[in-house]
Structure 1
């Protein structure tokens, strides 16, 4: 694995960031509706969707910084296309990306199975929740309610970022469009190992 970035890797990271910035902005409206019906906990059920680009980009590129950079760029683009949260969203995106990046770094960027991707989604859940606790005033809520919020966010990170991210990326891989990226190299090695 090399830490030097190729132009094709920068391009796909940028494309993913743009696509998911639009998805993220759309899900803000979904979250607003859910929060309107359930209170603050309404956002938690779908929070994992806001971590997904970090999982997908890292899974495809298998390169240090991919999770952090993709999430940061997506957050920046989301602000530019109209998220009312403004520049503070970029900080949130960086914190979310750092949570996923830490999990991949802990494996030395060598493990890419489902459990690692789900843990990366949970890593984003942890860092984002700590950040949210201080900037969103969770401390004023009942501790049991806050614990439930955190638990739901962890599950959402694992399922909507980790599991869904893997499923979407594997589907994209099957089309052949990812053949020039690290994911294809590793999958071919794994297939060759099984065949020998």
Structure 2
């Protein structure tokens, strides 16, 4: 049995987080999730095409590493726009759900990927106490997103059977992709939205 103080402390923690959410935040995270879901779905045939090109060269695993940044864009974007704990996880999961409902090539497994990618994006901002949504938060988020998603791919696709050099190369390519698309591109979009003053309360 958990101590009563710990139990009620956890309830108050989540209650305080949810009390900070407003209808506008819920609408924004839903819109980001839907738009990103469409992007994820569009990336599916592109992934298939890139894989077809790289397979004869024995480089098929690099197709996912090259494009992973597009599938992880929802989390950091939502966090930098909404600036609320949990928004990254929600956006990624909603995006994954939209991709699945549109007929994504990975089916229901897409939801698991969405959760993993969302958790990865949250961790980076969590390390700042959800107080830095600028370059530091973005950098940490791209790093944790890469580590978490790559660890998941390592198990899912049995990368453990690859040589150390190949695993290292896949990680580096994955990080570059996440940094450019989930990091730099997300921050640019967030800044553009802020300049429009559409997000002002």
Q: Same fold (TM over 0.5)?
A: yes
The offset of 1:64, in angstroms, is: 1.1
Aligned-pair RMSD on alpha carbons? 1.3
**Residue 26 (structure 1) aligned with residue 42 (structure 2):** yes
- Higher CA-based Rg: 2
Q: List aligned pairs for 1:128-167, cutoff 5 A.
A: 128-167=149-188
Partner of 1:7: 23
**Residue 41 (structure 1) aligned with residue 57 (structure 2):** no
Q: List aligned pairs for 1:32-111, cutoff 5 A.
A: 32-38=48-54, 39-111=60-132
List alignment gaps of at least 5 residues for structure 2: 1-15, 55-59
d(CA) in 2 for partners of 1:51 and 1:136?
A: 18
- 2:75–2:91 Cα contact (<8 Å) kept: yes
List alignment gaps of at least 5 residues for structure 1: 181-196
Partner of 2:193: 172
The offset of 1:118, in angstroms, is: 2.7
Q: Which moved more, 1:2-11 or 1:66-75?
A: 2-11
Q: What stretches of structure 1 move > 6 A for 4+ residues in a row?
A: none
- May I ask how many residue pairs the two structures share in their alignment? 179
Q: Which moved more, 1:165-174 or 1:30-39?
A: 30-39
Residue deviations 1:117-166, cap 9 Å, x none? 13212211111111111111212323211210111111211111011100
